[in-house]
Structure 1
């Protein structure tokens, strides 16, 4: 009886020490476990989607490693320390977007990257997915809420500058995500419903204006393809038709790992990037997709819990925006691959191949960990 009691105490001491260690490192154990689960699953699916390309797999694993280190480093800084550097980060992000326009690297008809030969190639617009909500959260946290009209106008101007530069590249998908991340901060700051309804009503004339004066021809074609992909099955409709064929052919349990035909026989373009969930659905079926969605749901739920428990206004606005933007990431990618939304080039978080996107996402979760763990530390001190 005594040995059993001592063993129970010993186990409790071990758990307490582990929790204390994670807290001292400012790491949220639940988020870390979920992210590592996605990392393992991503490499598993990516190996098949890339046609067993080991080099590509190693690059993705390296990006995961760099992103995890960056996430842990970011988690060490208190949110109030981050807030002080937000204006400089915003100016630096805009400067990088200008540099893309001046000296950017062109690939696949778009100029979105800065390429330093032999060193690194990265996409500056990805960084704005974190810098944008941080900027609006920093600005509004110093004002009276709900925000007044002049504060809304300034916030929209702060959003509009980088979005305009991203649209020039052109990169409509990233531009929409940057707009969304900033808009979520405004919404959570208590934006009055009359402004929300007014913005919704303005979407129609804005959409018409974008169609005639902003969208490129290939972007217009994506919208037309979304409405009726069968009108050009061998051209613009090819991607979505093959994607839906891959998803449908997987059934409940899938065909098995490495046994997908749409990707391995090269019917499905961009199978390791934007359309990777079609590969997962074909090889692992409905069960595999549901497991992935469940992990995403747990991540989003944890982010919302952190938002509710945040002790500062900046922390609440930042955490809520990052969490909801992550949800939009998932929703838009799955929606476009399944034919429910137009194709806008948004990768599937943590699953699609892409170093800059992956590091940016992990950095965002580093901010969430900082907001949560520093809150707990302050509460105990």
Structure 2
């Protein structure tokens, strides 16, 4: 019994059990929902299970790395990501009118996913280096560090990813103590720039915004997703129709039901009560992340923990918002539930950093 106990201790000594428990429950919920959403397609469920195992392995690996080492590679990771984004702009492959992938010979990569972690890491590193005397100039530099990758990703175009990266950077700025006066000024400036942004948007992006106002104006086109998802959610009622009994799902009315609109599948089958329990699980994970951020011992760890946790919240808010029809459809998955490996790896990499912050307090310089 001694050896297995030693092995267990070795495997779990840098893992936050409370956070891991919430993540595993969400993953299990995702597999059950995916099984129904894909009409019992065991192949896709198995693939997603493999994605989850790979992501969990990466999370465990990152959790075992002291934050000093992660902090040292913040600048190289950011610069590498920026170079790769420039490579996408110049040499990237075009699929469905978007240039988001870069062929590096062995495989194709999507550098924008790397920036979801690289941008907050870089901004947290920069603020940590200038913690002693933060000035307005430092906030301007940090904003530039954020604006460069966001602009390159918007150019691809990839509005959903750009939104997530912009929010992760904003959370770093907010947590450093940026004054409300400056944030209000930035908000007014952003509102004033809306006409310019509108003119820069692609036609399909404009249609998404107009469809948000009135989905019925293009019920069989741009508004179809929103109309069908809201019907599915409403038909679930309080108790839901039961697992694998959702009519909108299994009669093929609901599009993208295993990815961006999987929340509609869950809502139809488990109803308001199921949604409440799912959101409670998310709240537990978010709450644990904020506790880790509050207890972090340095400026760097506090900023990165807060940004990762609040960006996770943004994933949930944006996905649920677009499924229920209060936000435009921007292609953001429901975290730990939607089918897909790339976003799963990115999110669990972030959770690995959270666990490292929590379990290496004595190894982080205070």
TM-score (norm 1): 0.90
2:83 counterpart of 1:132: no
Q: 1:254-283 CA distances to partner (integer Å, 9 max, x unpaired)?
A: 111111111222211111111110000001
User: In the aligned structure 1, how far is the partner of 2:133 from the partner of 2:39?
Assistant: 52
The answer to whether the 8 Å contact 2:232/2:267 transfers is: yes
2:240 counterpart of 1:254: yes
Q: Pick from 342, 353, 363: which aligns with 1:356? A: 342
Displacement of 1:112 in angstroms is 1.9
Q: Which stretch of the first structure deviates more once superposed, 40-49 or 218-227?
A: 40-49
Residues 109-258 of structure 1: pairs in structure 2 closer than 5 A: 109-115=97-103, 120-144=107-131, 147-212=134-199, 214-258=200-244
TM-score (norm 2): 0.94
User: In the aligned structure 1, how far is the partner of 2:296 from the partner of 2:180?
Assistant: 24
The answer to whether the 8 Å contact 1:112/1:169 transfers is: yes
Q: 1:145-187 CA distances to partner (integer Å, 9 max, x unpaired)?
A: 6732211111111111111111111101110110110111111
Displacement of 1:376 in angstroms is 6.1
Q: Which stretch of the first structure deviates more once superposed, 262-271 or 324-333?
A: 262-271
Q: Pick from 325, 329, 345: which aligns with 2:331? A: 345
Aligned to 1:367: 353
Q: Residue 256 of structure 1: SS of its match in structure 2?
A: coil
Q: Which stretch of the first structure deviates more once superposed, 368-377 or 244-253?
A: 368-377
Q: 1:200-253 CA distances to partner (integer Å, 9 max, x unpaired)?
A: 1112122221101x2111000000000111112122111100000000001111
Supply the RMSD in Å over aligned alpha carbons.
2.1
Aligned to 1:10: none
Aligned to 1:306: 292
User: In the aligned structure 2, how far is the partner of 1:227 from the partner of 1:41?
Assistant: 32
Gaps of 5+ in 2: none
The answer to whether the 8 Å contact 1:147/1:189 transfers is: no
Q: Residue 112 of structure 1: SS of its match in structure 2?
A: strand
Gaps of 5+ in 1: 1-13
Aligned to 1:90: 78
Cα gap change, 1:87/1:116 in structure 2, threshold over 3 Å: closer, same or farther? closer
Q: Which structure: larger Rg?
A: 1
Aligned to 1:62: 50
Displacement of 1:70 in angstroms is 0.4
2:98 counterpart of 1:104: no
Q: 1:304-336 CA distances to partner (integer Å, 9 max, x unpaired)?
A: 000011111100000001111111110111011
Displacement of 1:102 in angstroms is 3.4
The number of residues matched between the two structures is 362
User: In the aligned structure 1, how far is the partner of 2:86 from the partner of 2:117?
Assistant: 18
User: In the aligned structure 2, how far is the partner of 1:147 from the partner of 1:23?
Assistant: 40
Aligned to 1:334: 320
Displacement of 1:52 in angstroms is 2.4
Q: 1:93-134 CA distances to partner (integer Å, 9 max, x unpaired)?
A: 1122223233434333322233568x6544221221111111
The answer to whether the 8 Å contact 2:297/2:364 transfers is: no
